[in-house]
Amino acid sequence: MVHLPQILSLIDLCKFSSIMDSDYGAFVEKFNLHLDSSPSLPLNSLTFSVKDMFDVKGFVVGYGSPEWAKTHQVATSTAPSVITLLQAGAICIGSNVTDVLAYSINGENIHFGTPRNPCVPDRIPGGSSSGSAVAVAAKLVDFSLGTDCIGSMRIPASYCGIFGIRPSHNAIPRTGVTPMAPSLDTPGWFARDASILSRVGHVLLNLPKVTPVRPTKVIIADDCFPLSSIPYDAVTQAIIKAIEKLYGGDVLKHEKIDDYIKANVASLNHFMTEENKDSQHNVPALAALTNAMQTIAKYEFKKTHGEWIDEVKPNLGPGVTEMVGAALKSTGENVDVAYSVKGEWRDALTALLGDFGVIMLPTVSGPPPKLKTSPSELKEFNEKAFMLQTIAGLSGGCQISIPLGMYDNLPISISLVAKHGADGFLLSLVESICESMKE
């Protein structure tokens, strides 16, 4: 089978339209991959799908772009992360729509349309792992694979009302996954409940079964909550109550993350612009940290894909055109300092959290925006969203977005962040908290 849209024939377009109608527009391609159906396997009979960045033998990765599909070859092997899930008994049923070149957090694709958010159909699903999030939220699969560079797992998870994890950088092999900015990229996964999220994590991360560990601290990032338009109590009340019930109130701490960043990341001054210092959001150090992350993302994206974009001149569509354009115009100035900031921030976050501490913060800067909101209107909203992604993203740490139901008929969420390498602890903690919240 040819990967749509390798040949944009009328038949192909009708086929794609049919997929859009029946499956919330979440899928690019449907197939059925399975290796073993033994009942003893940890993921036996669970279905999943993969973002259109994962190699599947016999198909062409589309990376959200018809031009990409036309200029790249059929995969000769399947990504190791997908093979691992198949070996655990899961069944892969297709590949999911992504934003063009995965360079957006909105989920709107000029070529394939916007996967329909099952939670709020008049709102965007979030990107760039839009189709993967929608497939899970619409109950088309039990879980799905996506990728996260600067927010592409956590944001669509929040917008679609499901769980989404950005694992620690390099915790899962990136072989067979189209790169965006390699030092920030990581595969991740979505699920509708914490139990399946954890089961998938134990397989992908090869985690041993251990007794859940009591967290040493749950730090409430006081200065991050004003970055979100959702009231503090709406996103913290239930989870704080569950934590107090499970572990006692003494585990809860409060911290101004901006002050901690400022005091512990020495190289950050290079990114402390006047605009950051005068930030109306009152988190200048976090804004500077985000600038460092964006500097790396732009530099690595240009290095990875700049030559292909210059040669092919693909149609990127609104929003993506502007972001890709900014990356291509970047000069790499201060990128070495940005890498220093990255290392310093990982060390600082590890020192703050230790092995069994987490930070609690909003996943996003508000409910999902309406469809077809202009890029100019989204600018400030997305800037604040990026700041909330930086704490885990730049450190290489792990973060889980936890759905909290609806507020004013819109999905809301909270996130927990742990240090690099603490994925097993974080998955177990979230599972315990969510069980308590159900009670």
- Catalytic positions, written as ranges: 51, 128, 152
**Helices in 94-212 by DSSP H: which ranges?**
130-137, 154-160, 194-204
Tell me the C-alpha distance between 77 and 339, whole Å: 33
In this structure, which long-range contacts are made by residues 372-375, counting pairs with CB atoms below 8 Å and at least 24 apart in sequence?
372/108, 373/124, 374/318, 375/318, 375/319, 375/322
Tell me the C-alpha distance between 318 and 320, whole Å: 6
Element (H, E) at 86: helix 80-87
The length of the chain in residues reads 439
Q: What is the DSSP letter of 179?
A: -
| CA-to-CA separations, 109 to 8, 91, 126, 372, in angstroms, rounded | 16, 27, 11, 11
- Bin 294: left if φ > 0, else alpha if -120 < ψ < 50, else beta: alpha
Element (H, E) at 92: strand 91-96
Cβ pair 417, 398 in contact under 8 A: yes
Joined together, the tokens standing for residue 90 give 């899961």
Please enumerate in sequence order all residues whose Cβ is within 8 A of that of 381, keeping only pairs 6 or more positions apart, or say none: 365, 366, 369
